Amino acid sequence: MEFVVFQIKTGGTVHMVCRSKERGEEALKDLQEKSGSSNIHLHLVDMSRPKAIKEFVEKFRSNGTPLNVLINNAGVLMSGDKRTLTEDGLETTFATNSLGVHILTSGLIPVLENSEDPRVIIITSGGMLVQKLDLSDLQFEKMTKFDGTMAYSQTKRQEVIMTAMYAKQYPKVHFSTCHPGWADTAGMIYINNE
């Protein structure tokens, strides 16, 4: 949050991509108050819906909006042993953490490449250390019993490998991944309750 506020205070413009109008508007108001700026824009996009992300990317690109830094933060850990599907029939963890990140990032590369010193940061997780990449079961159909934590870890491993591949493919852009530290957030409640 402090990093984003600093960027706005020093003249940056922020585009927030959120799925919930209510929570997005709350975050927008918070950022406006903390930064004293109106250079903050809210876009309602569900990161588990490929079509919605593609539409957002097309609109963003056609508006000619510049982009210097893309931060992929949205992520889910589906609790328990129930494999859930999105409205498009995709497994939710994979759709959000891997496919959504890929569609957004690859779609915005041409915009980033027009900027000076462009950067992409993908928030992954130390949880990836318990999983090797498994390309044979990207949507967790072969797990004898669905395990939300293992699915999360696999998608976080996928993010790190995807990032290394982007770095090779798009040398004009600087790519990084990070583990943000463990924090007691809504997304992690399941782990803490175990």
Q: Minimum Å distance from CB 46 to ligand NAP?
A: 5
Q: Which is nearer to ligand NAP, 135 or 183 (CB)?
A: 183
The residue sitting closest to ligand NAP, measured at its beta carbon, is 75
130 CB neighbour count, 10 Å cutoff: 13
Q: Minimum Å distance from CB 116 to ligand NAP?
A: 27
Q: Minimum Å distance from CB 125 to ligand NAP?
A: 3
Q: Which is nearer to ligand NAP, 20 or 169 (CB)?
A: 20
Q: Minimum Å distance from CB 33 to ligand NAP?
A: 18
Ordered DSSP codes for 14-70 = EEEEES-HHHHHHHHHHHHHHH----EEEEE--TT-HHHHHHHHHHHHHTT---SEE
Q: Which is nearer to ligand NAP, 46 or 173 (CB)?
A: 46
Q: Which is nearer to ligand NAP, 133 or 189 (CB)?
A: 189
Active site residue 166: no
Residues that bind ligand NAP (CB under 6 A): 18-20, 23, 46-48, 73-76, 96, 123, 125, 179-180, 182-183, 185-188
- Catalytic positions, written as ranges: 152
